Amino acid sequence: MSTGQPTARPPDATSTTGPAIEAHGLRKAYGKVTVLDGVDLRVETGNVFSLLGPNGAGKTTTVRILATLTAADAGRARVAGHDVTADRGRVRRAISLTGQFAAVDEKQTGEENLRMMARLSGLSRAASRRRAAELLERFDLATAGRRLALTYSGGMRRRLDLAAGLVGDPQVVFLDEPTTGLDPRSRQELWQVVRDLADRGTTVFLTTQYLEEADRLADRVAVMDAGRMVAEGTAAQLKAQVGGHRLDVVFTDRAAYARHEQRAVHRSPESLTLGLPTDGTALEVRALLDDLDPERRDVSRFSLHTTTLDDVFLSLTRTRAASRQEPTHV
């Protein structure tokens, strides 16, 4: 795929200088089940924005509303400067959506898939051939362009699927867990695709359950849980919320482990290891160890690590899960 200088998008009547995506108070329920409960978000033009959350948090529903595939029960949203309800057609012309599974025609070649999408987008036969050739080259598929998509690896199919979505040069690309099921090499290849898109000025809205993916790619990260946004900021800002560093402490027995389990952001009961947030300074680490083991008999060893987005994710979602289990009275 291309790693050269980004090419500027041609002037477009639908382009906007404001945020690429903004939403206020989005709500959605299916029967008595609330899926979104007042979601607000803002994504600046040209940024990579990553939305994290456990299964059932509302990530895919958010994407479907922003991509005009599902109507919100309440709230409002604009994508590429257009209202997702009043201007659905303009929104759809400005976006691309790639889901968890590659949607390519396996009985056609890679080139035929792209030429078909270009024709459906209104390009002439000659323009479709040129666009297909350009995208095959850009996504490192030129040598496989004449092969049936049936013969492609999982990573190649995902790249072809994403290339098909870029035929119309969209302003905003939605990627809903695009690396699900891919091997590490294929994931790395897709990450490079996302970087190339951002370098070209395209706004990317990425949902993922791979925390490393968000950490490496996103300008800003949001964590969603139970239909609500529970945190948002840069990866560094979110990590700072749980201490910036993590002290992994190995306890001598299960009783000592259990006494401190609730305060941990990382748990490994098999190895009797708990990870606790800290600022990483020697003063605080000493104080934390003294607090955990004042008699010097419960801790066998410890190690200090930089906080990861996994720690942020587990800390935020575990806290909310615990609060939901507590009885409430109205």
Of 211, 172, 183, the residue nearest 309 (C-alpha): 211
Please say whether the structural domain 243-306 has been given the CATH code 3.40.50.
no
Q: What is the pLDDT of residue 11?
A: 39
Return the pLDDT at 139.
Answer: 86
Question: How far does the chain reach from its first CA to its final CA, in angstroms?
Answer: 57
Q: What is the pLDDT of residue 17?
A: 62
* Alpha-carbon 272 to chain mean position: 31
Give the pLDDT of residue 299: 95
The yes-or-no verdict on residue 4 having pLDDT over 60 is no
Q: At what angle do helices 110-120 and 125-138 cross, to 10 degrees?
A: 130
pLDDT at residue 324 in the model: 46
Please report, as a single letter, which amino acid is at residue 180.
T
Give backbone dihedrals phi and psi of 148, rounded to 5 degrees, phi first.
-60, 140
Is pLDDT at 6 greater than 50 in this prediction? no
Beta bridge partners of 49: 205, 220
Instruction: State the number of CA atoms in the 13 A half-sphere of 18 facing the CB.
Output: 9
Q: What is the model's pLDDT at position 14?
A: 42
Handedness of CA 94, 100, 106, 110 (dihedral sign): positive
Per-residue confidence at 23, pLDDT binned at 50, 70, 90?
Answer: very high
Does CATH place domain 21-104+152-238 in 3.40.50.300? yes
Burial of 25 (C-beta count, 10 Å sphere; 0-12/13-18/19+): middle
Sign of the alpha-carbon torsion through 24, 233, 185, 134: positive
CA atoms of 113 and 120, how far apart (whole Å): 11
Q: What's the pLDDT at 272?
A: 95
Instruction: Give the pair of three-digit tokens for residue 246.
Output: 């993590």
Per-residue model confidence as pLDDT tens digits over 184-243: 888 888 888 888 888 889 999 999 877 788 888 999 999 998 899 988 999 888 877 766
pLDDT at 246 over 80: yes
Which residue from 204, 244, 224, 187 is spatially nearest to 28, judged by alpha carbons? 224
Query: How far apart (Å, rounded) are the C-alpha atoms in residues 271 and 262?
Result: 16
pTM, two decimal places: 0.73
pLDDT number for residue 176: 87
How does pLDDT run across 250-298, given as a tens digit for each residue?
Answer: 999 999 999 999 888 778 899 999 988 888 889 999 999 999 999 999 9
pLDDT at 318: 60
Q: How much is the average pLDDT of 40-44? A: 95
Please report the pLDDT score of residue 85 as a whole number: 96
CA neighbor of 68 nearest in space, from 88, 97, 47: 88
Cα dihedral 267, 273, 276, 278 sign: negative
21-104+152-238 and 243-306: identical CATH topology: no
Confidence of residue 59 (pLDDT cuts 50, 70, 90): very high
82-83: strand order across its sheet:
33-43, 21-30, 74-79, 82-83
Name the band, by pLDDT with cuts 50, 70 and 90, for residue 102.
low
User: Does the structure show a pLDDT above 80 at 100?
Assistant: no
Q: Do residues 219 and 54 make contact, with C-beta atoms less than 8 angstroms apart?
A: no
Q: Where are the domains of the chain?
A: 21-104+152-238, 243-306
Q: What is the C-alpha separation between 219 and 46, in angstroms, rounded?
A: 10
What is the total residue count of the chain?
Answer: 330
- pLDDT at site 92: 93
Hey, what amino acid is at 170? P
Residue 67 has pLDDT above 50, yes or no: yes
Q: How does pLDDT run across 124-169, given as a tens digit for each residue?
A: 999 999 999 999 998 889 999 999 999 998 888 888 988 888 888 8
